């Protein structure tokens, strides 16, 4: 597996969000998807972005958590 930077992951998640908004909008207009379902899936993608942004903004906490987790597993 190729590791990608957090910035690349956020960028891709944002691109996916825009694509979902366009595709789901068309699906709702054609009555192939309920608006509530589209809204829920868009909200889920927005939450993914928020989580990634939190991880980016709190990198030191994430690194320390992972270090602690590994020490407990080894210990």
Q: Tens-digit pLDDT profile for the chain (75 aa)?
A: 888 999 999 999 999 999 999 999 999 999 999 999 999 999 999 999 999 999 999 999 988 999 999 889 987
Question: Is residue 1 a part of any domain in this protein?
Answer: no
Question: Is residue 4 a part of any domain in this protein?
Answer: no
Question: Is residue 23 a part of any domain in this protein?
Answer: yes
pLDDT value of position 27: 98
pLDDT value of position 20: 97
Question: Is residue 3 a part of any domain in this protein?
Answer: no
pLDDT value of position 16: 98
Question: Is residue 50 a part of any domain in this protein?
Answer: yes
Q: Which domain holds residue 50?
A: 9-74
pLDDT value of position 2: 85
Question: Is residue 52 a part of any domain in this protein?
Answer: yes
Question: Is residue 2 a part of any domain in this protein?
Answer: no
Question: Is residue 35 a part of any domain in this protein?
Answer: yes
Give the global pTM: 0.83
Q: Which residues contact 46 (CB under 8 A, 6 or more apart)?
A: 17
């Amino acid at each position: 597996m190729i590791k990608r930077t957090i910035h690349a992951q956020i960028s891709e998640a944002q691109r996916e969000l825009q694509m979902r908004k366009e595709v789901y909008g068309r699906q709702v207009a054609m009555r192939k998807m309920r608006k509530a379902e589209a809204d829920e899936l868009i909200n889920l993608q927005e939450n993914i972005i928020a989580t990634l942004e939190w991880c980016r903004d709190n990198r030191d906490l994430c690194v320390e958590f992972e270090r602690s987790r590994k020490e407990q597993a080894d210990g």
